[in-house]
Amino acid sequence: MEIIKPIGISEQKLVVEATADYVERAQQLLGADFSQVTVRFDLKGKAAGMYRVRQGERVIRYNSYLFAKYFDDNLAVTVPHEVAHYITDMVYGLRRIRPHGPEWKQLMADFGADASRTCSYDLDGIPQRVYQRFPYRCDCTRHDLTARRHNQIQDRKKLYFCRQCGAPLAPLSGKSEQ
């Protein structure tokens, strides 16, 4: 499986420009002056984009891995989607409208963008969050257990045995035993 790399500086520039273009179009459509929104590429996980306000700063966050995998699609859908959240926030205020309500839908229609799709994509090839593992040993090798199994053993609800040597698994450090 090919490992996806996040988009680089030149593609990020295109995304920032596309974002500014939609803000510009909204300014013309609504005859209002919207200061440019901050754009970051620090979003992870299944969502391609997110708009949020934190401590008075309005930020659109994009997922640079999902943009790398579906670049054109994200330019056409995710960018206007997030800009429409930003503009409807500026015009109405986030608390007074539903996120994907009629105001947002109208703006997406004015953008000529597809409002019917939620921006979720398959994540094959994109490095996922690595879950914490707990080291155990038997008589022949080391076993890295999931948190669920680790907790079951710690709570004395379950014992796990090595399939090769048949010995019960014990914590590698020994310190976490109660």
Is 82 catalytic? The answer is yes
| Cα–Cα distance, 74 to 63 (Å, whole number) | 10
Find, among 6, 34, 2, 1, the residue nearest to 20 by Cα. 34
Q: For the chain, how far is it from start to end, CA to CA, in angstroms?
A: 42
Residue where the block lists tokens 């909204």? 26
Which of these is catalytic: 17, 82, 103, 177? 82
Q: Could you give the 3-state DSSP secondary structure of residue 157? A: coil
Q: Residue 109 or 140: which CB sits closer to Zn ion? A: 140
Q: Which residue is nearest to Zn ion (CB)?
A: 162
Establish if 165 lies at the interface with Zn ion (CB under 5 A).
Answer: yes
| Stretch of 7-15, 19-27, 59-67, 161-169 lying at the interface with Zn ion (CB under 5 A) | 161-169
Establish if 53 lies at the interface with Zn ion (CB under 5 A).
Answer: no
Q: Could you give the 3-state DSSP secondary structure of residue 151? A: helix
Question: Between residue 103 and residue 142, which ones bind Zn ion under the rule CB under 5 A?
Answer: 138, 140
Establish if 164 lies at the interface with Zn ion (CB under 5 A).
Answer: yes
Establish if 60 lies at the interface with Zn ion (CB under 5 A).
Answer: no
Establish if 162 lies at the interface with Zn ion (CB under 5 A).
Answer: yes
| Cα–Cα distance, 170 to 153 (Å, whole number) | 9
* The two three-digit tokens of residue 158, written as one number: 């379950």
User: Could you list the residues that contact Zn ion (CB under 5 A)?
Assistant: 138, 140, 162, 164-165
